Structure formats: C-alpha cells, structure tokens
C-alpha cells in the first residue's frame, strides 16, 4: 500500500487571510481598541446558548481563571478525572488547591459520577468534568451531585466545541465551561482559549482577573483584584472567527466518519472503540480512541502498533498517562503550591490506568480525510493483525 494523504491540520483559507489582513491594516491589534475579540466572544457564546464568553490566551489559563473566579482558596479540594490532559490537574495546583483525581468509566473514558461522589469531603469545592475526546460526560448525574453537596462545576470542554449532552452544549449545567484553541484542537488559532458562563457576576470577575485586575477598557490603573494578563489578541480572534464558520460542518463530517470506523474496527478482535453514551448527542471526536489488545495482535506492544501505523503514514498516538504517574507529579515538587503527593490512592484509578496503558488514538483530522484514508486505516490494522505489516 502506498502512503495515503490525510487531511492537513490546521486548515486555514481565504477567510482567515481576509480577517487577518483587516487586523493588520487597521492597526488595532489588541482587544482594547479592536472589535474582533468582542465579535468572536459574542458568536462563540451564541453558538453554545450561553450569555457570556471571554476569550483568553489559552485553555490552561482559562482553567486557572475559572477556579479563581469561583473563589477557590488554598487547600480547597477539586475533583478531576485521573485520565485527562495535564492542565486539568495542574490548574488547581497553580491555584494552591488540591486536585483529587477520581476514576473514569472504562468504556466512555469520561469521569465516573459514582467515583466523584465517593471522593467528596468537607473540603471539596468543585468538580472539573472533562468531555473526553469530545464526548460529553453524564451532566445529569454530575449536576445532581453538585446540587446535593453544593459544589461548583467547571466543564473542561477543551475537546468539545459544539458538543451536546442531550440537547445541551457545554456551559448548560455548570458555572463555567472552558475551551482550548491550541494547534491540535478542533478549532484553532495556534494558541487560544475561552470561557463561557451564564452568570453575569462570574463573567465580570473573569474580565477583571484576565486583565491584570482592571475592568475591561479601563483607561486608568484601576487594579481592583489580584489578576494576571491572559488577554486574547485580535489576530487570534480573526482566525477563530473564520474557524467557527467551519466548525459545525466539520463536526458532522467527523461524526459520520467515526461511525464508519466504529462499524469496521468494531469487528476486529483485539480492538475496542470508545463507547458513546447515546445521551452524548453531538460528539466532536477530537480524538478517535480505541483499546488495543496486544494478545490479539501476536504480542506486538501498543507502542510498536502505533509505530507500524505511523510507518504507513497513519497519524496515531498513545493515550495520555495517568497524571499521578507523570514525573512532575511523582517528584512531588509543587513549588509550595501544595504540600506533597502522598494523598492520592492510585488503587482507585484502575480504569484510568488501563486506558492509559492500552488505548491508541487517531487525531481528529483523520476523520476529516477522504474515504480512501479511512479504508486505509482499517486495512492497515487488519494487515498488522495478520502479520503482513511487521515490526
């Protein structure tokens, strides 16, 4: 089989160039005198049926700002999934709060509501569900828990732009939802982030926090609260305005192609695809994820399997490590933000460990590629299984 050509990512076109040129020529490069960030915020909020949106520099800072806006204090416990990208876990630490990792569901890879409830203590203040790979978590169950124990919810929707739980987008069942527009995400401006909320007071607090403590458009030095600078600039927003126009169509295409791969890969012994909860109505498929069972593939390891796919020109990666197994966490040097790492009971994180050891993912642009690419993915996996593509 010859190497096949998958879709590029990121994808930019005339619209990005046109809007970027407008910004360059206008001489208005930051949000304080331009209108691109504001326009993008309005459109992105509307797209998610939310009242307010604030554009920021990236998704990691969005998480930190969300915690600060909800008045998270030193020593507060924040429940997070053990299987996620590092930022979900490091953001609480950078706010002097304690991330308490709980297990995810073995099949959907999303945070397990029962595990959340079991981890709640008097110090618990908030939950950060992560809509893993674009599939929304069980927001009905999480919302119920948040009401019962009076907890805040910050949705980490870094993978889930335009996703829906039943009919509801991120932000519907939470205080704040955050997004990332980092280079690999399903809409991007290289680096970027956003927060959405329906609460005016929270929105105003976010504006202060992200703009060194000053009200938006303040012309004096009215630093009202301790903040940071996390402002989005007009170039980022220009690109995002163009990206947003393509989001819905791309989400549909990914959904269609993910279904095709599900039907084909689901038949291969030794491959088990991420299960979709039928209530997660729109799944954006930031990552196409599946378990790889080495025993069904003549004992080749998961890493070798990924290398073999890569050698055929197929982009593929191994799953995130469980956060407490990363060197950063094991060394336990948190620069004084939190005390040590001894509070975590890894024996309760079995599903997360299994996923991080056995899962492989294909980036979302595989699902934006032509039918011949999808068929090549299926054929390559079948050939590896038959020993026709060797280590």
Ligand X SMILES: *Cc1c(COP(=O)(O)O)cnc(C)c1O
Residues tagged active-site: 85, 156, 159, 182, 185, 214, 221, 231
Beta strands in the chain (DSSP E): 52-56, 77-81, 98-102, 124-127, 152-156, 176-180, 193-197, 271-273, 287-292, 317-318, 359-363
Distance, CA of 55 to CA of 64 (rounded, Å)? 14
Nearest approach, Cβ of residue 293 and ligand X (Å)? 26
Cβ–Cβ under 8 Å, residues 90 and 327: no
**Residue pointed to by tokens 């020593």:** 75
Q: Determine the interface stretch with ligand X among 80-88, 113-121, 163-171, 307-315 (rule: CB under 6 A).
A: 80-88
* Residue 88 vs 369, nearer CB to ligand X: 88
DSSP 8-state class, residue 282: B
Which positions from 131 through 170 interact with ligand X, judged by CB under 6 A?
A: 156, 158-159
Residue 195 tokens, joined: 């927060």
Nearest approach, Cβ of residue 59 and ligand X (Å)? 3
Is residue 174 a contact residue for ligand X (CB under 6 A)? Answer: no
- In order of 259, 264, 358, 385, the CA distances from 270 in angstroms are 18, 13, 11, 9
| Of the candidate residues 31, 54, 88, 231, the single one contacting ligand X (CB under 6 A) | 88
Is residue 130 a contact residue for ligand X (CB under 6 A)? Answer: yes
| Of the candidate residues 50, 135, 174, 182, the single one contacting ligand X (CB under 6 A) | 182
* Residue 56 vs 276, nearer CB to ligand X: 56
Nearest approach, Cβ of residue 315 and ligand X (Å)? 17
- In order of 63, 75, 96, 332, 343, the CA distances from 338 in angstroms are 17, 8, 6, 9, 11
List strands edge to edge, sheet with 52-56. 52-56, 193-197, 176-180, 152-156, 124-127, 77-81, 98-102
Closest Cα partner for 72 from 51, 110, 99? 99
Residues whose CB falls within 8 Å of the CB of residue 3, separated by 6 or more in sequence, listed in order = 312, 313
Residue 274 tokens, joined: 């991420």
Mapping DSSP to helix (H, G, I), strand (E, B) and coil, where does residue 178 land? Answer: strand
| Of the candidate residues 99, 193, 270, 363, the single one contacting ligand X (CB under 6 A) | 193
DSSP string, 346-365: GGG-HHHHHHHHHEEEEEGG
* Residue 193 vs 211, nearer CB to ligand X: 193
Which positions from 289 through 328 interact with ligand X, judged by CB under 6 A?
A: none
| Of the candidate residues 6, 80, 87, 270, the single one contacting ligand X (CB under 6 A) | 87
* Residue 194 vs 373, nearer CB to ligand X: 194
Residue nearest to ligand X (CB): 59
Nearest approach, Cβ of residue 187 and ligand X (Å)? 12
Q: Determine the interface stretch with ligand X among 27-35, 54-62, 134-142, 200-208 (rule: CB under 6 A).
A: 54-62
Is residue 85 a contact residue for ligand X (CB under 6 A)? Answer: yes
Q: Determine the interface stretch with ligand X among 36-44, 81-89, 206-214, 351-359 (rule: CB under 6 A).
A: 81-89
| Of the candidate residues 50, 84, 135, 352, the single one contacting ligand X (CB under 6 A) | 84
Is residue 180 a contact residue for ligand X (CB under 6 A)? Answer: yes
Q: Determine the interface stretch with ligand X among 82-90, 268-276, 334-342, 361-369 (rule: CB under 6 A).
A: 82-90
Distance, CA of 391 to CA of 382 (rounded, Å)? 14
Distance, CA of 25 to CA of 40 (rounded, Å)? 19
Residues within the interface to ligand X (CB under 6 A): 58-60, 84-85, 87-88, 130, 156, 158-159, 180, 182, 193
């Amino acid at each position: 089989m010859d190497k096949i050509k998958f879709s590029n990512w990121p994808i930019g076109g005339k619209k990005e160039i046109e809007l970027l040129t407008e910004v360059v020529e206008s001489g208005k490069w930051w949000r304080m005198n331009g209108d691109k960030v504001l326009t993008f915020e309005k459109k992105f909020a509307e797209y998610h049926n939310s009242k307010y949106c604030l554009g920021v520099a990236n998704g990691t800072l969005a998480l930190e700002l969300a915690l600060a806006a909800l008045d998270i204090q030193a020593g507060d416990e924040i429940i997070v999934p053990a299987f996620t990208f590092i930022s979900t876990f490091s953001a609480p630490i950078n706010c002097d709060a304690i991330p308490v990792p709980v297990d995810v569901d073995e099949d959907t890879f999303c945070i397990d509501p029962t595990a959340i409830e079991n981890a709640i203590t008097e110090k618990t203040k908030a939950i950060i569900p992560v809509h893993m790979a674009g599939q929304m978590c069980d927001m009905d169950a999480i919302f119920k828990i948040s009401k019962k124990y009076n907890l805040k919810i910050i949705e980490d929707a870094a993978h889930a732009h335009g996703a829906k739980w039943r009919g509801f987008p991120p932000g519907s069942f939470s205080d704040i939802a955050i997004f990332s527009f980092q280079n690999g995400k399903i809409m991007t401006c290289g680096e970027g982030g956003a927060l959405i909320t329906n609460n005016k007071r929270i929105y105003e607090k976010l504006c202060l926090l992200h703009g060194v403590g000053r009200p938006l458009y303040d012309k004096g030095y009215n630093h009202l609260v301790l903040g940071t600078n996390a402002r989005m600039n007009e170039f980022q927003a220009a690109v995002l305005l163009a990206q947003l126009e393509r989001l819905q169509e791309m989400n549909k295409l990914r959904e269609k192609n993910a279904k095709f791969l599900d039907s084909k890969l689901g038949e291969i012994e030794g491959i088990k695809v991420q299960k979709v909860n039928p209530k997660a109505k729109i799944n954006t498929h930031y990552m196409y994820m599946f378990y790889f069972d080495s025993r069904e593939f003549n004992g080749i390891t998961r890493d070798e399997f990924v290398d073999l796919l890569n050698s055929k020109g197929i982009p593929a990666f191994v799953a995130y490590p469980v956060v407490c197994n990363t060197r950063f966490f094991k060394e336990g040097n948190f620069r004084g933000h939190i005390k040590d790492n001894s509070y975590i009971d890894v024996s309760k994180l079995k599903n997360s460990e299994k996923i991080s050891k056995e899962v492989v993912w294909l980036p979302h642009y595989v699902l934006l590629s032509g039918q011949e690419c999808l068929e090549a993915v299926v054929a390559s996996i079948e050939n590896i299984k038959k020993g026709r593509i060797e280590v």
